[in-house]
Amino acid sequence: MKILVGIKRVVDFSVRVQVKKDGSGVNTDGVKLGINPFDEIALEEALRIRERGTQAEVVAVSIGPAEVQPQLRTALAMGADRAILVETGEVLQPLMVARVFHELVKRENADLVILGKQAIDDDSNQTGQMLAALWDRPQATFASKVELKDKTLMVTREVDAGLETIEIDLPAVITTDLRLNTPRFVKMPDIMKARSKPLQVLKLEELGVTAAPKLEVTSYAPPPQRVGGKKVEDVTALVATLRQRGIL
């Protein structure tokens, strides 16, 4: 079986992103970048499916500028068999990303695509669902447990009401939630080994994907700031303050 995994480079989760003064975007100069945490989980899950004994080839895919190659090398060091970079200088929105993945899924004859449920930069939470729609295949979003049984998958999903389990037929798309697994650390020898694994670069234009409609981003603004920071001495003062505020 062939598993495609999405790897997006994003601003590291520990960075408090700042909006540029002129509202044209956010400051990314000198900011730490890394693999979207949900994508690391996606890759880890693909590797575990393989390690549990299923014959599988794991292909890490990223769409972005040439600078995302280090993230793909990390994916290869974690254990992906090969990587594909769809190179573009443009920042693609989810529908276009889904179209690109759909094209790759067809070319690669993939059986399973595992993506993060959201990227922690644009927080859209759309791509997996869109890919499943275009591909006309099942989607299991927000997965916290995945069991492969022959040609079907049992997936437990984290939903607002609790945990939902669905059964889906392969081929299919899964999007990962945080509790699906804990990604492994990359070891030094694996980084060396990853250097010789295949990393194929395709130009976006070569794929022949029809450009998708886009949202026009007209401005960026910082969120309204909460002015907190007041402390009280003890429980009595806390209750008194809550009463003053009309809460109790």
For other proteins, the binding residues in 152-181 under the rule CB under 8 A are 154, 157-169, 172, 177-179
Establish if 126 lies at the interface with other proteins (CB under 8 A): yes
CB of 75 or CB of 86, closer to ligand FAD: 75
Other CB atoms within 10 Å distance of the CB of residue 92: 20
Rounded distance between C-alpha atoms, residue 158 and residue 144, angstroms? 6
Other CB atoms within 10 Å distance of the CB of residue 240: 13
CB of 36 or CB of 62, closer to ligand FAD: 36
Q: For residue 168, what is the DSSP state?
A: E
Rounded distance between C-alpha atoms, residue 10 and residue 81, angstroms? 22
Establish if 116 lies at the interface with ligand FAD (CB under 6 A): no
Establish if 6 lies at the interface with ligand FAD (CB under 6 A): no
Structure tokens of 11? 């601003």
Can you name the residues that pair with 75 across neighbouring β-strands?
none
Establish if 46 lies at the interface with ligand FAD (CB under 6 A): no
Binding mask 217-246 for other proteins (x = CB under 8 A): xxxxxxx--x-xxxxx-xxx-xx-xxx-x-
Size of the site for other proteins (CB under 8 A): 83
Choosing among other proteins, ligand FAD, none, which partner's interface includes residue 33 (Cβ < 5 to 8 Å by kind)?
none
Longest dimension (CA), the chain: 69
Establish if 120 lies at the interface with ligand FAD (CB under 6 A): yes
- Burial 68-77, CB ≥16 within 10 A → b, else e: bbebbbbbbb
Closest CA to 211 of 71, 86, 95: 95
Choosing among other proteins, ligand FAD, none, which partner's interface includes residue 149 (Cβ < 5 to 8 Å by kind)?
none
Establish if 31 lies at the interface with other proteins (CB under 8 A): no
Residues 6+ apart with CB under 8 A from 228: none
Establish if 37 lies at the interface with ligand FAD (CB under 6 A): yes
Choosing among other proteins, ligand FAD, none, which partner's interface includes residue 188 (Cβ < 5 to 8 Å by kind)?
none
Q: Which residues of this protein are in contact with ligand FAD, per CB under 6 A?
A: 13, 37, 120
